[in-house]
Structure 1
Amino acid sequence: MTGSSGGAGAATAARDGRGHAGRRPPGPGRAETPRVLAALARDPLAAGLGLYRRYGDLVRVPLLRGDRALFVLSHPDHAEHVFVTRHADYPKSVTYRPLREFLGDGLVTSEGALWERQRRLIQPLFSHRRVAAFHPVMVRNVRRMLDDWDRRAPGDVVDVSEAMSLLTLNIVGEALFGADLRGPGARVSPSVTAMQDFAVTAMRNPLLLRAPRLGLRTTPGYRKWAAAVRAVDEVVATVIAARRAGGTRDSAGPDLLDALLDARHEDGTALGDRQLRDEIVTFLMAGHETSATALVWALYLLATHPAARQRLEEEVDTVLAGRDPGPEDLDGLVWTKAVLCEALRLYPPFWTLERDALRDDEIDGVRVPAGSTVAVPPYLVHRHPDFWENPEGFDPGRFLPGRGAGRHRHAFIPFGGGRRGCVGNAFAMTETVVVIAMLAQGRRLDVPSGGVPAVQPTVTLRPRGGLHMVLRRR
């Protein structure tokens, strides 16, 4: 990324919503809109970088009718404006509609008073104390996976994408819902993949904006998507029924399912079955998919940067001395955490965050008409050269203690920002550090010759076709 439309004046404008009235909006003309939108649909990462290089931090793509537009924002000040300063004016975009059809009104997709109630209910379950209580669940599930890997012959090829997806799904299932998903996970994980593929395809269907249900049913792949939804719903129904039947579980305290079953509306009524379903599906999907994706890219980056991997192995050997990690060990695994943060910077699982403008606004001196869509891609923000030296390079040292002093707090937003930031970020960081540290104790995963993965920006940022790696002993 090169160039910038920002500067001190732009920063002030983005923060206070004023700016230089009448500044010409940077971006393509209306005649170019079909070509630009087609490029964004075909390869949004390359197209987004191209728009930045040509126009700068703020790009306006006019839509074909009216004064509404698509705005692509790449500066941390813009992220702060949308997610913090004016968050009430920027609800989730209509582009999330296909995802909402799968997740329903769970915490990720809900708005307004419903979201407020959900957040108040769920937030305490992700305090640092509660996350520490989930630690044994994480270790137990990683140990189970590694024991299975140890029965393989050295040099076997592992589908790391599938393995990390099943692992994080099992951790979320046990920690948050007291459920053993080792069997059902074989249905849930591929269903999430099918959901993501369909959601991206459906987002390109113009019927979705005017007739969502008809748009979904006319999108190629609808039947496969509907079958995936049924598969997940059946697993969720089984989890709820088992808890209501009084099934036993090993837990350090009430979990998310307990909180949901005990929750009451203002009139004293319990959550309905549909709301229960929506919350559980949301956390099964978001709670495992983002962590799995982060782990896959971290393992790939370690395999392709031997010096960083060796430093991580030396740190793990020194801090853990062959033990399973405990909560007290996490503060000592500073390089391990830095590697994961750098993986999240280069490959943020939620690579774009989109909002719709409820009313007219102004960002960086440019008018944002009500009804416009505003995209703030972490993939671009994380590569802004004013905040990241050699932005395309892999350098975990950026995240060592003291190295980030003075960095804009919205220059790194893998978990979103503001009040809608991910409620489970501490859970995710603890989980991924535990996985990487335990795996590094006696094993290595290498990339086969010619195994460089292509990046596939679906709902999350996945390696296209998964990532197959060679398992070796250290």
Structure 2
Amino acid sequence: MNAPVNPKDLYPANLRPMGFEDLKHVPGPLPARFRTIKTIKFLADPKKAIAESAAEFGPVFRRQDFMGWGVTLLGPEANELVLFNKDKIFSSKLGWDPILDQVFPNGLMMMDFDHHRKDRKTLSVAFKPGPMKAYLSSLNEGIARQVARWSKTEQFKFYPAIKDLTLDLAAGSFLGLPWGPEAEKINKAFTDMVLASIAIVRKPLPFTQMRRGVRGRAYMSAFFAREIPNRRGKDGDDFFTQFCNATDDDGNLLTDQEIIDHMNFLMMAAHDTLTSSITSMVYFLGKYPEWQEKLREEVDQVRARHGGALPYEALGELELVEMAFKESLRMIPPVPMIPRRAIRDFEFMGHRIPAGSGVGVNPLYTHYMPEHWPEPEKFDPMRFTTQLSANRHKYAWVPFGGGAHMCLGLHFAYMQAKAFFYYLLAERRIVLPEGYEGEFRMVPIPRPKDGLPVTMAAR
């Protein structure tokens, strides 16, 4: 079995959180009288709050939130420094711990350096072409079945509908199970866990969101624990079975607890972020029907060449669908802010940042910088042609993070999004209410405030 990693072996023994006095040399606001109120206002509109802070203080500024004092670094150069992490200055675990440690501890994002590299390599077996082809077969069946069920005349809320669908798909691709009576409980468990990550009350006290999140984790952990013995030594193309039988370089299996932790995190990361991303793209295609028609033409051409079901080998032919998906991720990134903690002193843009500082980068801000994205408020998938992408800073677009912690499942995300729009656009037209302007809550994972009312009309 894999030996546990002692945190003391990874981080300096004298590392401590920073206070205002440690960071007062960095531009930024003074200590807030009511920190909770300040945090609530920030969470209500983080895009506006970050833009205002950048305008007042510049691309490097200190900040104060429920995690204490830290610094925000803005722009592609900041993203590259922190996410690529060439000199191993930044800890992902210590950055995410204050947010996720009670509900998603020991997931892949909560690991650093050699420990992270080892587990990532072990888990990567589930993303090889063989299993991916099997996942696509399951996705094809599930998506086609559900799209056919949606009304062609009645308006419905898209976000909860796609959330149900992605959970249904996860049952096959992730768990290798038919979705049964536990679906509603699992949906609630994951919703409570995600919302607990930004709960203002950080202790699981009675009647708090954190208590609901902790209970959700306990429910999911028990669910996975019951199934692990049934998967050991068995063949299966689903993620769960792949993880139960994956071995590291020394031939060791993951422990039961490691599998539980990775499955909890992966189900959240894949299910909730993809639900958000597909919802965003549906919104933009409904808002810009001329783009919807262009994508439909491409889908029709691919279907004419290959017939009904989307073959794995044809995924690369959906080039415009992929560009539109990328543009949706630019405008509404599924992870708008990415936290780290510095484990060594460093300098950036003339500012000395001490070890122990929370360090945040902001994809949402970077994705709207006009020097990298002309007319940033405009939905334009052609930004992602090879020609227009060639000279753009490679860290100007970071919806999947970057460096060693680049999203392990990004190819699965592309595959599921392409499969969804392959079936949807072949049969339906996305119609939004007349004059509709969507408004999204951006944290913890973007979602439309009103659920996104939509009609999936017949072509």
TM-score (norm: length of structure 2) = 0.85
- The answer to whether the 8 Å contact 1:173/1:180 transfers is yes
3-state secondary structure, aligned to 1:216: coil
CA 1:95–1:283: 2 relative to 1, 3 Å: closer
1:354 Cα deviation from its structure 2 partner? 0.4
Partner of 1:417: 402
- The answer to whether the 8 Å contact 2:103/2:214 transfers is no
CA 1:95–1:276: 2 relative to 1, 3 Å: closer
Distance 1:392 1:318 in 2: 30
Partner of 1:134: 135
Distance 1:257 1:276 in 2: 8
Partner of 1:334: 319
Among residues 351, 356, 364, which one is paired with 2:349 in the alignment? 364
1:386 Cα deviation from its structure 2 partner? 1.5
Q: Which amino acid aligns with 1:444?
A: R
CA 1:230–1:62: 2 relative to 1, 3 Å: closer
Among residues 428, 435, 453, which one is paired with 1:443 in the alignment? 428
CA 1:376–1:128: 2 relative to 1, 3 Å: farther
3-state secondary structure, aligned to 1:200: coil
Q: Which amino acid aligns with 1:334?
A: E
Distance 2:138 2:230 in 1: 19
Q: Does 1:453 align with 2:426?
A: no
Partner of 1:14: none
List per-residue Cα deviations over 1:180-207 (Å, max 9, x = no partner): 2354332222322222222211xx44xx
1:87 Cα deviation from its structure 2 partner? 5.9
Q: Does 1:171 align with 2:169?
A: yes
CA 1:107–1:371: 2 relative to 1, 3 Å: same
1:473 Cα deviation from its structure 2 partner? 0.5
1:412 Cα deviation from its structure 2 partner? 0.6
Among residues 272, 295, 300, which one is paired with 2:283 in the alignment? 300
Distance 1:360 1:219 in 2: 40
Partner of 1:287: 270
1:400 Cα deviation from its structure 2 partner? 2.4
Partner of 1:273: 256
3-state secondary structure, aligned to 1:101: coil
Partner of 2:123: 122
1:393 Cα deviation from its structure 2 partner? 1.4
Partner of 2:158: 160
List per-residue Cα deviations over 1:57-115 (Å, max 9, x = no partner): 22233799xxx942222210111111114462211245543422212212122334432
CA 1:234–1:143: 2 relative to 1, 3 Å: farther
Gaps of 5+ in 1: 1-22, 209-214
1:244 Cα deviation from its structure 2 partner? 5.0
Distance 2:244 2:229 in 1: 11
Partner of 1:47: 49
Distance 2:180 2:450 in 1: 23
Q: Which amino acid aligns with 1:167?
A: L
Q: Does 1:376 align with 2:361?
A: yes
TM-score (norm: length of structure 1) = 0.82
Within a 5 Å distance, the mapping from 1:345-360 to structure 2 comes to 345-360=330-345
List per-residue Cα deviations over 1:133-153 (Å, max 9, x = no partner): 42212111111212322xx3x
Partner of 2:195: 197
User: Structure 1 stretch 109-118 or stretch 311-320: which is displaced more?
Assistant: 109-118
- The answer to whether the 8 Å contact 2:337/2:360 transfers is yes
- The answer to whether the 8 Å contact 2:43/2:443 transfers is no
Partner of 1:101: 102
Distance 1:98 1:412 in 2: 24
Distance 1:265 1:102 in 2: 26
Partner of 2:82: 82
Q: Percent identity?
A: 26
Distance 2:396 2:171 in 1: 32
Q: Does 1:320 align with 2:318?
A: no
Distance 2:330 2:250 in 1: 44
1:264 Cα deviation from its structure 2 partner? 5.5
Q: Which amino acid aligns with 1:455?
A: F
- The answer to whether the 8 Å contact 1:360/1:369 transfers is yes
Partner of 1:6: none
- The answer to whether the 8 Å contact 1:173/1:284 transfers is no
- Give aligned pairs, total: 433
Q: Which amino acid aligns with 1:407?
A: R
Distance 2:428 2:250 in 1: 55
Partner of 1:472: 457
User: Structure 1 stretch 346-355 or stretch 119-128: which is displaced more?
Assistant: 119-128
3-state secondary structure, aligned to 2:52: helix
Partner of 1:9: none
1:238 Cα deviation from its structure 2 partner? 4.4
